[in-house]
Amino acid sequence: MSVLNGKKILLGVSGGIAAYKTASLVRLFIKAGAHVQVIMTPASKDFVTPLTLSTLSKNPVHSSFFNEDDQDAVWNNHVDLALWADFMLVAPATANTLSKMATGNCDNLLIATYLSAKCPVYFAPAMDLDMYKHPSTLSSFTALKQFGNIMIPAESGELASGLSGEGRMAEPENIVAFLEADLESKLPLVGKKILITAGPTYEAIDPVRFIGNHSSGKMGFDIANEAAKLGAQVILIAGPTHFKTKNNSIEVVNVVSAQDMYDACHLHYNDVDVAIAAAAVADYRPKVVATQKIKKTAEEFSIELEKTKDILASLGGIKKNQFLIGFALETQNEIENAKLKIQKKNLDLIVLNSLQDEGAGFKKETNKVTFIDKDFKIEPMELKSKESVAVDILNKVILHFTK
């Protein structure tokens, strides 16, 4: 899955012949899963129509501060557009537009939006070869890069003038590749490998029945999706659950029983930087599993149980440099029990859930957790969506690697 998936891209189109390429560029962004809004300078509409870019982006195209045909004269708010974007791309960026960006000469909606942008800004120059090398253009390049803007270098090739040389706007596929590489390089968990467990385990009684719990797996899947979004290589070991990952870069290992999960965790653990044990693993399993379905004949029926292997304790016992995070779901003496678990299982951090808290626990969209680290620093959090809790957990991981 592209790092552009879900990104909000504000595309500024200025008036050069290369504007015709923006139709392909918008199409590639949409194909990658991005959301796109387009701002055109008045001159750019001579080269590509707003209707084309509106159709491809699935959004209205903006060109002026208000729509002249609109009797109510609704204002196109450049500040709102700038704040909406995860990043802004000006392509093609003509010599005229680059000069305005560099000097703050704000005479159109695109420049006003650029000057309001707090997000990263990329620009893809497009002009004839002599213009590209002119000292004034080079000065614009220098100023914009000093502002923190990122230049997507022009390519060499045949130009509209009939000459051949540097100044041709990068091809749409190359712009997308540049953006993906640059965004990926800045993700905080790039180069980190994270093992995450999720969901319940089912411990067989017979071929039909099992002992399980009410865990849906949502918390673990949310952590996995967020970790992948932050650039990590993710291995998700999932018990029986209906959830699917949102990022096809996540390696999913499907398991059923506690023993299956134990084996899968130990297979991958030595190679990871972080392990987050969010699964609700059964503490006990039937000592004997019937080979045939048990018939309902006796008035009473007993199942002898035996302990399952403690996955988290086993990982803590062989821990080297891994950052190990466990979960604790408690109903009483929550803090003290969580502290004991940190010591007994050699954890770096525990995420404590209490069933006493409304909105927390299994089969909920929300969670209310308390973080306790190995030094017993306690940090209670507010009730949040599980997606937001996943962000908080991974912020702890990021902090660990940036200390």
Q: What are 322-366's pLDDT values in tens digits? A: 999 999 987 778 899 999 999 999 999 999 986 666 665 566 788
Q: Quick one: average pLDDT of 38-57?
A: 96
How many Å apart are CA 385 and CA 364, to the nearest integer? 9
**CATH code assigned to 8-185:** 3.40.50.1950
Q: What 3-state DSSP class applies to 117?
A: coil
How many Å apart are CA 110 and CA 44, to the nearest integer? 11
Closest by CA to 242, choosing from 217, 222, 223, is 217
- For residue 74, pLDDT over 60 is answered with no
Question: Which residues are part of the catalytic machinery?
Answer: 213
Tell me the Cα Rg of the chain: 28
- Say if CB 39 and CB 115 are below 8 A apart: no
- Categorize the per-residue pLDDT at 198 as very low, low, confident or very high, splitting at 50, 70 and 90: very high
Please, which residues bridge with residue 253 across strands? 237
Q: Would 8-185 and 193-402 be classified into the same CATH topology? A: yes
How many Å apart are CA 44 and CA 218, to the nearest integer? 47
- Say if CB 203 and CB 285 are below 8 A apart: yes
How many Å apart are CA 295 and CA 267, to the nearest integer? 38
- Categorize the per-residue pLDDT at 118 as very low, low, confident or very high, splitting at 50, 70 and 90: very high
- Categorize the per-residue pLDDT at 85 as very low, low, confident or very high, splitting at 50, 70 and 90: very high
How many Å apart are CA 270 and CA 319, to the nearest integer? 8
Burial class of 173 by CB neighbour count within 10 A (0 to 12, 13 to 18, 19+) = exposed
Tell me the one-letter amino acid at 200: P
Q: Which residue has the tokens 């190679």?
A: 271
- Say if CB 169 and CB 92 are below 8 A apart: yes
- For residue 67, pLDDT over 70 is answered with no
CATH number belonging to the domain at 193-402, selected among 3.40.50.10300, 3.40.50.720, 3.40.640.10, 3.40.605.10: 3.40.50.10300
Q: Quick one: average pLDDT of 26-47?
A: 96
**pTM to 2 decimal places:** 0.81
How many Å apart are CA 90 and CA 212, to the nearest integer? 54
Domain boundaries, the chain: 8-185, 193-402
- Say if CB 318 and CB 268 are below 8 A apart: no
